[in-house]
Amino acid sequence: MATSSPATPQVQSPRGAKATARTETRFDRRLAKILTHATDVFYEKGYEGASMRDLSRSSGMSLAGLYYYFESKEKLLYLIQKHTFTTIVERLRERLDLVQDPAECIRVFILNHVEYFLANQKAMKVLSHEDDVLRNGFGSEIAGIKREYFRICMELLDDFKRAKGLEFSSRIAVLSLFGMMNWIYTWYNPRADANAKELSRQMGDIFLKGICAPSKTKKKRSALAN
């Protein structure tokens, strides 16, 4: 499945803040295309195997021009990751604003995640395999966005537990959910598997039924009480 073009991360145009809106739009479109090409190269060669020359050849930009805008392939990987995680979190917040029921909030979280993954499989493979590469401040910024995403999911699980009177580890539940969702690109086949909406529904059913199942500890307590 083709990777959709990333929306524009904040990179300063060389003409500065006085550039016209038309120039900025043209620059933004060019940047989005470069990031799409960079995603393709990292997907095919891996971060370590890719060179700035490979990225230049794929994007059609001169090597000198590429270094002028991005200074390193690490900067390109950072922009890909920042765009991806920021987009996922922003879309999630917008969707959660429209939902009240705790179970539906979890289903919205799953749909938002799976939908983006299936629409951007190359980018998600790159992120899954190169999540510990970034250094020099880039890594800490991306880690902060990831922590916020994890925190949102933890809060949704805590709300669900309170609403249902359940007892389980929210941390283990969240990590299990991510384990279910994050490796879709390794097995998903659009010819055999459902679309994002149906796949998310099925995952939601499996996950919610799992965390709602009575624990052995709870069964033992009930037996002792009787």
- pLDDT tens digits along 159-218: 999 999 999 999 999 999 999 998 888 899 989 999 999 999 999 999 999 999 876 655
Gap between the Cα atoms of 69 and 66, Å rounded:
5
CB 32 within 8 A of CB 26: no
When mean pLDDT is compared across 23-37, 53-67, 194-208, 209-223, the lowest value belongs to 209-223
Based on the number of CB atoms within 10 Å of its own CB, is 57 exposed (0-12), middle (13-18) or buried (19 or more)?
middle
Predicted TM-score of the model (pTM): 0.79
Whole-number average pLDDT of the chain? 84
More confident residue, 114 or 213: 114
The separation between CA 55 and the C-alpha centre of its own chain, rounded to angstroms, equals 23
Domain architecture of the chain: domains with CATH:
21-214 (1.10.357.10)
Tell me the two tokens of residue 200: 């998310």
For 6, 51, 54, 86, 208, the CA distances from 81, given in Å and listed in that order, are 10, 18, 19, 8, 29
**Nearest residue to 83 via CA among 114, 39, 46:** 39
